[in-house]
């Protein structure tokens, strides 16, 4: 099968293929055009003849020729492959589509899960065991229509009720075990039902397939929620609850509401807020964001209002921003603990809270207010230490002035005091200064670490090697960028001729994704390469100096932290050494 796919892709040039749908123009080593998957006026759609891939920097769609046909024609993988095989003149054998054992097993697990969901719902709606669960749902104002839409059910307090039901339907116990619905007994002699005496919420993927379950305790049993383990069909890192129902509305409204729990999604959805999804807990993942970005680049985070929820909002906000999303944060009054309660008690209020979702900086101010009592001198200092570096990142003068005044008012100090305090932070914080490259093609912001990698990848081998020798892993705080740097350095040390497609074979999927992105971005400096290679070298030196200073500033922050700890312990010798080290680093920064 793999050989057949390779042959088809080798015979169909992706530039010629896409040019049939989108007029492309050459721009440097790549081609560009208006994206066929979203409305835009400035080209953000790039095609690489070298790697035979495409990527849109506007809507984030990308892939190879098969993926393009799937997206543009709305076809399944097999249909897209048949479509391209016809173009390439390659005869496809029926046996080429034989499913692997894991694919066959996954298909069976999905069938089994669907049947289990029917079993749980039947118990809820038709059996006396389900009466307590129905009363619980009524108390939470869950409507009958929502129970049907979400296929909510109930697992009776039986050790083997579900096992017996599934065995009678002809399913093998090994498959039932692989689904995660049962747990092996301590003596490994048999299994028992994982979910017992719990309200059951089926977990459906973005295609509406039941991939797992969550059981909600109706009494004092712990844990409150018991979830399916990861299986062939259920990966928590790439799962968003309610995406199957919300995806069309998310596309329509061009934004998604992100909440924590099941009922934080179910209640708003049944009351008309149709673009809501849940991350299931407080740890949003990059995989969940990648999934969400297929439908929107705009996110409104509406996590719980307790301390854990606020901390989770902060982490989710940072992660979503790093993924290039536009983010706002919904802030509820202390009268409501979560979106579920807010909608049930005051639907109109929740709608207004949604409309007035806070900007990133407003959220951080609210976060600081809730976390620190600024009437206390020490707490005031902690609030300042938290907010000052955030304000220092604002580049627009008027925007920055607004938050300087906000912080001055919050801390009850003069604006001049805030301005003076900001000076020690310089202009850069985080994992690297962001660059919004001025160019005719729309591209996302990239960090200085990613930018220098992009320049190295586009440089002649000698210049690339010379640049890599000057850098070290310490200069790359971004995990994926660091991994690419290490592998690129090793690859360029070899005598092998540098071919990007060969280098990509040595990378992990995440590393490959970054390299492809950097390869497809149109860097303005490369336009001068043919006329003056020295211009490229000058640009590399400029970015190298910036990265070097970023590394030094990061070390200064580390030394500063250690210095505070040493002072607390009254370790005079260490304090003296650290002061000298801090002075040495600051001199290097100001050179």
Please, what CATH class does the domain formed by 2-97 belong to? alpha beta
Do the domains 238-358 and 2-97 match in fold?
Answer: no
Q: How many residues does the chain have?
A: 591
Q: Using CA of residue 418, residue 424, residue 427, residue 431, what is the dihedral sign?
A: negative
Closest C-alpha among 319, 307, 548 to residue 449: 548
Residues 6 or more apart whose CB falls under 8 angstroms from that of 346 comprise: 336
| Residue 535 pLDDT | 64
CB atoms within 10 A of CB 96: 15
C-alpha Rg value of the chain to the nearest Å: 28
The structure tokens 């002649």 sit at 460
The pTM for the full model equals 0.60
Q: CB atoms < 10 A from the CB of 189, how many?
A: 7
Q: What is the pLDDT of residue 134?
A: 97
φ, ψ of residue 41 to 5 degrees: the values are -105, -25
CA-to-CA separations, 347 to 149, 267, 494, in angstroms, rounded: 21, 10, 64
Q: Taking the CA of residue 327 as centre, how many other CA atoms within 13 Å lie in the half-sphere pointing to its CB?
A: 25
Report pLDDT for 319: 87
In 121-209, DSSP assigns E strands to 153-155, 182-184, 191-193, 198-204
Domain boundaries in the chain?
2-97, 101-234, 238-358, 366-425, 434-548
The confidence score (pLDDT) of residue 395 equals 74
Q: What is the mean pLDDT of each run of 10 residues along the chain (591 residues)?
A: 85 91 84 83 89 90 91 77 87 66 89 98 95 96 97 96 96 96 89 96 93 93 91 93 93 90 97 96 83 84 83 85 85 90 96 91 85 89 89 82 92 91 64 41 63 83 81 83 89 77 87 88 56 65 78 85 87 87 81 70
Q: Is the dihedral of CA 288, 293, 294, 295 positive or negative?
A: positive
Checking 482-491 for CB contacts under 8 A at 24+ apart, the result is 483/508, 483/511, 484/453, 484/511, 484/514, 484/515, 485/453, 487/511, 488/453, 488/456, 488/457, 488/464
d(CA 508, CA 519): 16
Q: Give CATH for domain 238-358.
A: 3.40.1360.10
Q: What is the b/e burial string over 341-360, where b = at least 16 CB atoms within 10 angstroms of the residue's CB? A: bbbbeeeeebbebbeebbeb
pLDDT at 435: 44
Measured CA to CA in angstroms, residue 311 lies from 203, 283, 292 at distances of: 26, 10, 21
CA 380 to each of CA 134, 368, 375, 391, 418: distance values in angstroms, whole numbers, following the listed order: 49, 10, 7, 16, 13
The pLDDT score that the predictor gives to residue 426 is 65
pLDDT at 436: 41
Q: What is the rounded distance in angstroms from the CA atom of residue 491 to the CA atom of residue 474? A: 19
Parallel, antiparallel or unpaired: strands 153-155 and 198-204: antiparallel
CB count within 10 Å of CB 590 equals 9
- Alpha-helical regions (H) of 94-143: 101-126, 131-139
H or E, element range at 226: strand 225-227
- Cβ burial, residue 20 (10 Å; 0-12/13-18/19+): exposed
Domain 101-234 in CATH 3.90.980.10: yes
Q: Name the nearest CA neighbour of 47 among 70, 75, 28.
A: 28
Q: Report the sign of the C-alpha dihedral through residues 224, 229, 234, 235, in that order.
A: positive
* CA pair distance 335, 341, nearest whole angstrom: 9
Beta bridge partner(s), residue 447: 434
């Amino acid at each position: 099968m793999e050989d057949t796919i390779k042959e088809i892709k080798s015979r169909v040039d992706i530039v010629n293929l896409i040019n049939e749908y989108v007029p492309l123009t050459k721009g440097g080593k790549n081609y560009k055009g208006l994206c066929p998957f979203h409305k835009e006026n400035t080209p953000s759609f790039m095609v690489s003849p070298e790697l035979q891939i495409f990527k849109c920097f506007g809507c984030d769609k990308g892939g190879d020729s098969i993926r393009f046909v799937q997206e543009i024609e709305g076809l399944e993988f097999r249909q897209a492959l048949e479509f391209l095989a016809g173009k390439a003149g390659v005869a496809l054998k029926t046996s080429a589509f034989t499913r692997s054992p894991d694919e066959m097993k996954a298909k069976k697990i999905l069938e089994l899960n669907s049947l289990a969901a029917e079993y749980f719902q039947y118990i809820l709606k038709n059996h006396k065991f389900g009466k307590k669960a129905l009363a619980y749902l009524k108390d939470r104002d869950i409507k009958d229509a929502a129970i049907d839409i979400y296929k909510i059910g109930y697992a009776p307090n039986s050790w083997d009720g579900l096992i017996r039901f599934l065995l009678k339907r002809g399913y093998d116990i090994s498959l039932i075990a692989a689904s995660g619905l049962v747990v092996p007994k301590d003596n490994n002699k048999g299994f028992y039902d994982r979910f017992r005496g719990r309200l059951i919420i089926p977990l459906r993927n973005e295609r509406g397939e039941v991939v797992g379950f969550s059981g909600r305790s109706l009494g004092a049993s712990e844990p409150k929620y018991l979830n399916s383990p990861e299986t062939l069909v259920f990966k928590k890192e790439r799962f968003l609850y309610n995406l199957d129902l919300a995806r069309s509305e998310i596309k329509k409204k061009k934004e998604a509401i992100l909440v924590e729990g099941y009922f934080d999604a179910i209640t708003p959805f049944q009351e008309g807020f149709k673009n809501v999804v849940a991350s299931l807990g407080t740890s949003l993942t990059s995989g969940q964001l990648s999934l969400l970005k297929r439908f929107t680049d705009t996110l409104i985070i509406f996590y719980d209002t307790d301390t854990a929820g606020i901390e989770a909002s902060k982490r989710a906000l940072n992660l979503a921003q790093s993924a290039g999303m536009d983010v706002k944060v919904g802030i509820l009054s202390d009268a409501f603990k979560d979106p579920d309660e807010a909608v049930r008690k005051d639907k109109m209020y929740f709608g207004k809270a949604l409309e007035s979702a806070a900007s990133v900086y407003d959220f951080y101010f609210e976060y600081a207010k809730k976390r620190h009592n600024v009437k206390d001198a020490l707490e005031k200092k902690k609030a300042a230490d938290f907010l000052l570096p955030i304000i220092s990142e604002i580049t627009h003068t008027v925007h920055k002035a607004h938050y300087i005044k906000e912080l001055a008012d919050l801390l009850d100090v003069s604006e001049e005091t805030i301005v003076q305090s900001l000076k020690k932070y310089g202009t850069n914080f985080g994992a690297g200064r962001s660059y919004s490259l001025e160019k005719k093609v729309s591209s996302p912001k990239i960090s200085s670490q990613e930018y220098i990698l992009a320049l190295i990848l586009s440089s002649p081998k000698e210049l690339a090697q010379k640049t890599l020798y000057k850098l070290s892993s310490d200069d790359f705080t971004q995990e994926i960028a660091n991994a690419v740097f290490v592998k690129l350095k090793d690859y360029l040390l070899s005598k092998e001729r540098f071919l990007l497609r060969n280098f990509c074979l040595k990378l992990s999927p995440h590393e490959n994704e970054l390299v492809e992105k950097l390869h497809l971005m149109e860097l303005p400096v490369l336009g001068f390469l043919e006329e003056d290679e020295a211009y490229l070298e000058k640009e590399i030196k400029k970015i190298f100096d910036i990265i070097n200073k970023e590394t030094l500033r990061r070390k200064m922050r580390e030394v500063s932290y250690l210095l505070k700890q040493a002072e607390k312990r009254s370790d005079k010798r260490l304090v003296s050494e650290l002061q000298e080290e801090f002075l040495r680093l600051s001199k290097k920064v100001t050179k």
